[in-house]
Structures are given as C-alpha cells and as structure tokens.
Amino acid sequence: MKNYILKYITVFTLLFGTSITAQNFQGMAVYQTKSKMSMDLAGSGIPADRIKMIEERMKNMLEKTYVLTFDKSASIYKEEQKLDQTGGGPGGGMRFMMVGGGASGDYYKNTQTKTSTKENEFSGKNFLVKDNLVTYNWKMEQETKMIGQNMCFKATTIVEMPVRNTSFNFRRPEDRKEEEKEPEEPKMEAVIVTAWYTLDIPVSHGPGDYWGLPGLILEISYAETNILCTKIVMNPKEKSVISEPNKGKVVTQEEYDTILKEKMTEMRERMQNERQKSGNDGHFRMRG
C-alpha cells in the first residue's frame, strides 16, 4: 500500500505540477460541518413554541457551511453567512453564546511560512489573532475511499482538546445553583482526529486548523464533529483575493483567550444580575 501511495503521489505531481505552480492557480472547496448534541428539556418549564425555537437555533449553530479558498501556499477559511430566521420570533430574547477559539471572519493560513491569522470580532472590537500553525503528527493509514470524484487516503493524529459537554439540561432558576458557580478550567482529553485527503489536488490545505498532508483534506472527523467537503472548483473564472487580514488589534491566541475569558465572566455576571432583577429564566449559557 505504501508503494502504491508513493506511486500515486509521483504520477499526480507530474500531471498536476505545472498547473499548481502557475502564478494564477487557485481553488475553492465548500465544507459542511455537523456536530451532535442532545438537549434535555424535561422539567424546564419552557413553552412549546420556545422549545421549537431553541432546537432551530441549535441546528443553525451545529450545522454550518464554510468556504476554503486556496492557492499553492495560502488559504482563507470563512463561514458562509446565512439569514437568522429565528431572532425575531417567539422567545427572541433568549441568548445563546458558543465559546470557542475559531475565527468569526477570515481565517488565513500560510503553509509556507507556517503561520496563521484569525480575524475575530468580539464585544464590538476587532482582533487579529496571529500564531504559528499547529504541527500535526499525521499517521498515514492504508484505507482509501471515494469522496465525490476524488480518491482519498486516510490519515490520523491525536489532538488534546477540551472535554466537550454534548448534552444540556435546561432547569428552573431554583435548580441552577451549581451553574452560578465560577466555571473551572476545562479538562483536556486526547482525541483521535481522522482526515481523508486527496492527491488529486496536491496542496497542503484543509478546513479549520487542519493542514500538513500531501493533498487537500476533504473530510475531518473527531469526537461528535464531522467536516465534509461537498464541492470543489479548480481555477474559477473569477479569482478571489487571498491575503492576510490586517485590520484589528494584533494579539496571540493566548492573549485572545485571556481577553475572551474576562469578557465572558463580565457578561455572565451581568446576565445573572438581569435575571435576578427581572425574574426572567429565558437566558441560558451554552458552551460548545
């Protein structure tokens, strides 16, 4: 199998090498992300119409579309925005907050310089989170499968991630004393990440934080999350600008995480005060 993969790499490098080194080479890949999460609404006292709204909002948060635009060495990964149909409906005052380290704007990666820049907007301020790319210790597996028209090869790695709570209990205020306590630092666990990459497109890009394989990553799976490429366009007629974002306060990932933690603490305390004053139990803190 290893000899087959090496032969496959050689053939596609020869066939594809000329076009990929061209100055105007560019590609675009669309990814669908899905995560599993369960909710226990029993005994929450939430009306049926608001439960429906909660479920719809959860679906919007857990099923997203991203577009990866790339050339030989650089890429931009960005969420495809869609209209929120639930904000103005019944229960529109309910607040959902997903806490995470992803980019809210352009996520720029450069595999040549091994650096990244995430464009984030939080609490009315723009940040540029600059850091080095994570180096993954990929293990090449022997399995193959087709994704669309592309032959893909399997690779795995182990990544330390925060333990993720994939179920939520919605309880009445008098039953939520434990939730009012200061949250502890997230516990970490070793998670197996599985990637499927294609040598048909020999660039080292992939969705989100992932990169570093000899072909474009078309699928990533870990824990309860799956990221799957559903569309590829090579050398589109209308080229996109792939450049590093430059508007915002420059911080490291560690600095941004500290700012985020402080702001979230302030927001949580403010929400608790509002809830105590109004007696409204419609504000819930979500962690993903």
CA nearest 33: which of 85, 68, 73, 71?
68
pLDDT in tens, 169-227: 555 545 555 445 555 677 899 999 999 999 999 999 999 999 999 999 999 999 989 99
**Does pLDDT of 21 surpass 60?**
no
pLDDT in tens, 215-266: 999 999 999 899 999 999 999 988 899 999 999 999 999 999 898 888 888 8
**Does pLDDT of 42 surpass 70?**
no
Q: What is the pTM of this model?
A: 0.76
* pLDDT, greater one: 184 or 108: 108
User: Which of 6-15, 55-64, 116-125, 274-283 shows the lowest per-residue confidence on average (mean pLDDT)?
Assistant: 6-15
User: Which of 71-75, 90-94, 104-108 shows the lowest per-residue confidence on average (mean pLDDT)?
Assistant: 90-94
pLDDT in tens, 142-170: 999 999 999 999 999 999 998 866 555 55
Number of Cβ atoms within 10 Å of the Cβ of 133 = 17
β-bridge partners, 21: none
* pLDDT, greater one: 86 or 128: 128
Tokens of 185: 């630092």
**What is the spatial distance between Cα 197 and Cα 160, in angstroms, rounded to a whole number?**
22
* pLDDT, greater one: 259 or 57: 259
**Does pLDDT of 103 surpass 80?**
no
CA distances from 123 to 38, 120, 127, 139, 261 (A): 28, 10, 10, 40, 12
| Dihedral, 204, 106, 243, 21 alpha carbons, nearest 10 | 20
pLDDT at 142: 94
**Does pLDDT of 7 surpass 70?**
no
* pLDDT, greater one: 44 or 285: 44
**Does pLDDT of 287 surpass 90?**
no
**What is the spatial distance between Cα 77 and Cα 227, in angstroms, rounded to a whole number?**
13
pLDDT at 270: 83
**Does pLDDT of 82 surpass 80?**
no
* pLDDT, greater one: 199 or 274: 199
Number of Cβ atoms within 10 Å of the Cβ of 206 = 29
**Does pLDDT of 3 surpass 60?**
no
pLDDT at 92: 40
- Given a contact cutoff of 8 angstroms between Cβ atoms, the answer to whether 197 and 214 are in contact is yes
Distance, first Cα to last Cα, the chain: 39
